[in-house]
Amino acid sequence: MPNLARREWGPLFDAVYEMNTARDHADFLSAVATGMSRLIQADQTVIHILDRKTKRLALRILPECRYSQYELDYYSANPDCDPLVKHYSLTGERQARRRTDVIKLKDYLVSPHFINCQKRLGFTHTLALPVIISEDTVGALSFDRCNSNFTKRHCALLDAFAPHFLLAWNRHPDPWVAADKSKVPDRVRLQKLGLTGRQADVLYWMTEGKQNREIAMILGRSLATVQEHVENIVKILGQENRHSATVFALRHLGST
């Protein structure tokens, strides 16, 4: 685990929380991109996942896709022209890297990839994390900047995020598909029981069958804090224990 400063763990856990509650408010990859764009400042945040067998591609770009069709087509036809892609293909590494870790900036600025894909938008610096979900499902989370380069600390933050991404992907019922945004999120419905937002979050994960320790990891809070929330939830709902509070919540969700 990277040796991160105390102040860095909070934003990291917030990004993990954003991702793990994706079913409630956004599609999975949009939640990942949103959470990570807050964690690592960049002019553009991109996540893409490709299923090689089915050719299914999931792509999210924040704030929006500004690539021309020519640039997208060129990259699709020549992915290894990107020095980072080539590096990961040759080495099999899974750690986050800056593009300047694998090629000098002066050399990159005259490379085919920069000229055909990035020059128009002015993206001179990139930070990337390869995403290997399975033998056939791969992708990357990347960040682009026009001016200042990324730091080794940014690489450490991405490496710390990676295992949480894989856990959340495998836990999600269908991370490829966007949620029905017309449906009122379960956490909002639970909050109407008189709970705070955080208490509703905890109760939501209780209804998903998660134990306190798992909820603490998902929400990025201490076990003691989650246990305190559970105790308060039981009191507010007028129930005898954690189990009865969970059953009460499930009935509420089933009737509203």
CATH of domain 186-255: 1.10.10.10
Contact of 205 with 21, CB cutoff 8 Å: no
The residue assigned the tokens 């704030």 is 63
Q: Is the pLDDT at 8 greater than 80, yes or no?
A: no
Alpha carbon distances (Å) from 141 to 95, 98, 233: 11, 12, 37
For the chain, give every domain's residue range.
6-171, 186-255
Of residues 75, 101, 160, 94, the one with CA closest to residue 133: 94
d(CA 41, CA 161): 15
Cross-strand bridge partners of residue 145: 125
Q: What are the tens digits of pLDDT across the range 161-179?
A: 999 999 888 888 788 876 5
Torsion from C-alpha of 130, 134, 138, 143, nearest 10 degrees: -30
pTM of the predicted model over 0.85 = no
pLDDT band at 3 (very low <50, low <70, confident <90, very high): low
Q: Encoding tokens for residue 94?
A: 């899974």
- Predicted confidence at residue 24, as pLDDT, reads 61
- Predicted confidence at residue 1, as pLDDT, reads 44
> What is the residue-averaged pLDDT of the chain?
87
- Predicted confidence at residue 2, as pLDDT, reads 54
Superfamily of domain 6-171: Transcription factor LuxR-like, autoinducer-binding domain (3.30.450.80)
Please report, rounded to a whole number, the percentage of residues in the chain having pLDDT higher than 90. 49
Q: What are the tens digits of pLDDT across the range 11-69?
A: 777 788 778 777 665 688 888 888 888 889 999 999 989 888 887 888 889 888 889 98
Q: Is the pLDDT at 120 greater than 90, yes or no?
A: yes
Q: What are the tens digits of pLDDT across the range 65-117?
A: 889 989 988 888 888 899 999 999 899 999 999 999 999 999 999 999 999 99
